């Protein structure tokens, strides 16, 4: 009997509709990780899984997600896809360990957290009376918002100068500068500003746009909801990126591809590029720390700069989460520049975050310098823009078993924005500010 499986029990206990496409996407994602891009094969394997489920499930029986995943592993192995099965199992085990760690709430320090940088940022916040939402509100209430903007922007610019000085000191040995960080950390603005600073010191740059190395959309991995996933490093042709980087730093000419986002197609061997002796190759990339990208290039020839809004601001429910700041930033940017509904950003943010935890955060320790891109004043500007939306999303997702993450984030951000004094007038924000990348009005050419 076909179509008799209609519901699935999640690990949380919630009962949700059964979706065959999620099995397809999970298999295809595992295949992409080991170099495969045959989506039709993933479809066929998923159909095998569904057929086996239907054969062994009684009408009206509701399966647990673990039972389905067990059968996926079994089918992959039986059909001769051992490598894909291994990657699927590894990913599943990682998810299990992550859940266990979250439950245990371990207090052990993590090597992935830049404690020294965080302490420096907290010290700055305390000295400027910007370490709590209450103190921020008090200063705004006294009419000090323009001063807070100036202090915050100055701290970021100081960080930028330090990074530029370190690059300049190593200019004789460096060939490649990678500016990296998670989504909406401010990489684009920082890249432009850093380039300006170093050009004043006589350095020359050749910029490589890694977006041109995206695979065609039809072989792109998808997220669990069936949307194409541009967040994973496997969405890029990493072997080709690495080959071109190695050849460029060696002085060879390469022909870089061009990716047409209107047609979602990549065209190979389009633009000749060569790195001259007096130039540095500059890359702004979400996955600049991912080992496969720069594999084989001597470490001493690479400078890796990492960005994160390391805001040290405490509200009634604890410190402001950096990921929430970036979520808001991306909502504003995507709505303004990409015609992307902020609700969609919220719904899929947990997949963005999961990719960061797998492919970005574990490699923070390999960076040469970290810039704090968080601005204490930005929350004041976000409240009038998005508070009412977060209130609505919280209501909408409250009883939705498919969107527990969206509900949790909507609730948390709503509570935070309600605590902050709103500021409607953004005239104090410089037009070349990093924040303008997200709220609009920048004089920089992106």
Given a cut of 90, is residue 254 above it in pLDDT?
A: yes
Q: What is the percent of the chain where pLDDT is above 90? A: 61
Phi, psi (5° rounding) for residue 373? -100, 10
Domains delineated in the chain: 7-104 (no CATH), 118-439 (3.40.50.300)
Given a cut of 60, is residue 351 above it in pLDDT?
A: yes
Averaged pLDDT for residues 137-162: 97
Return the H-helix or E-strand segment holding 425: none
Band (2; pLDDT cuts 50, 70, 90): very low
Band (105; pLDDT cuts 50, 70, 90): very low
Using the CB atoms, write b or e for 89-122: b if 16+ within 10 Å.
Answer: beebeeeeeeeeeeeeeeeeeeeeebeebbebbb
CB-based contact 308:182 (threshold 8 Å): yes
User: Mapping DSSP to helix (H, G, I), strand (E, B) and coil, where does residue 336 land?
Assistant: helix
CB-based contact 84:35 (threshold 8 Å): no
Given a cut of 80, is residue 226 above it in pLDDT?
A: no
DSSP string, 368-387: SEEEE---TTHHHHHHHHHH
- The span from the CA of 389 to the CA of 395, in Å, is 10
Averaged pLDDT for residues 219-233: 68
Given a cut of 90, is residue 315 above it in pLDDT?
A: yes
- Residue 13 pLDDT: 63
* Cα 339 from chain centre: 19
CB-based contact 397:153 (threshold 8 Å): no
Averaged pLDDT for residues 312-335: 94
Check: pTM over 0.95? Answer yes or no: no
Averaged pLDDT for residues 55-78: 79
Band (85; pLDDT cuts 50, 70, 90): low
Which residues touch 124 (CB under 8 Å, ≥6 apart)? 155, 312
The answer to which of 60-74, 320-334, 337-351 has the lowest mean pLDDT is 60-74
- Residue 402 pLDDT: 83
Return the H-helix or E-strand segment holding 178: strand 176-180
């Amino acid at each position: 009997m076909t179509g008799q499986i209609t519901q699935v029990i999640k690990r949380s206990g919630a009962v949700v509709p059964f979706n065959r496409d999620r099995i397809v996407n999970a298999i295809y994602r595992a295949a992409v990780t080991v170099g495969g891009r045959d989506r039709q094969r993933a479809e066929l394997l998923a159909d095998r899984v569904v057929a086996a489920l239907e054969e062994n499930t009684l009408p009206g029986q509701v399966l647990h997600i673990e039972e389905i995943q067990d059968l996926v592993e079994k089918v992959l192995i039986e059909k001769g896809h051992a490598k894909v099965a291994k990657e699927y199992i590894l990913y599943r085990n990682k998810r299990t360990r992550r859940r266990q760690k979250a439950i245990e709430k371990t207090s052990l320090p993590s090597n992935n957290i830049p404690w020294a940088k965080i302490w420096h940022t907290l010290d700055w916040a305390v000295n400027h009376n910007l370490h709590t939402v209450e103190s921020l509100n008090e200063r705004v209430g006294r009419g000090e918002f323009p001063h807070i903007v100036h202090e915050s922007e100055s701290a970021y610019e100081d960080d930028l100068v330090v990074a530029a000085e370190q690059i300049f000191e190593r200019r004789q040995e460096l060939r490649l500068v990678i500016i990296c960080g998670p989504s909406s950390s401010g990489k684009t603005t920082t890249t432009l500003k850093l380039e300006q600073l170093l050009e004043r010191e006589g350095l020359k740059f050749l910029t490589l746009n890694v977006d041109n190395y995206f695979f065609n959309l039809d072989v792109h991995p998808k997220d669990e909801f069936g949307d194409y996933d541009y967040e994973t490093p496997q969405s890029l042709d990493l072997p080709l990126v690495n080959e071109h980087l190695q050849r460029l730093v060696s002085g060879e000419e390469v022909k870089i591809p061009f990716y047409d986002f209107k047609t979602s197609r990549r065209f190979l061997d389009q633009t000749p590029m060569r790195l001259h002796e007096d130039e540095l190759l500059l890359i702004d990339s979400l996955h600049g720390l991912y080992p496969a990208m720069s594999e084989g290039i001597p470490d001493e020839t690479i400078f890796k700069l990492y960005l994160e809004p390391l805001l040290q601001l405490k509200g009634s429910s604890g410190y402001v989460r950096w990921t929430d700041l970036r979520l808001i930033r991306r909502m504003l940017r995507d709505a303004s520049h990409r015609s992307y509904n902020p609700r969609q950003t919220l719904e899929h943010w947990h997949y963005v975050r999961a990719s960061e935890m797998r492919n970005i955060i574990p490699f923070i320790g390999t960076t040469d310098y970290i810039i704090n891109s968080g601005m204490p004043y930005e929350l004041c500007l976000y409240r009038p823009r998005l508070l009412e939306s977060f209130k609505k999303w919280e209501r909408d997702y409250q009883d939705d078993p498919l969107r527990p993450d969206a509900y949790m984030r909507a609730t948390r951000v709503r509570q935070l924005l309600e605590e902050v004094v709103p500021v409607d007038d953004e005239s104090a924000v410089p037009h070349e500010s990093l924040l303008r990348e997200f709220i609009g009005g920048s004089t920089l050419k992106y």
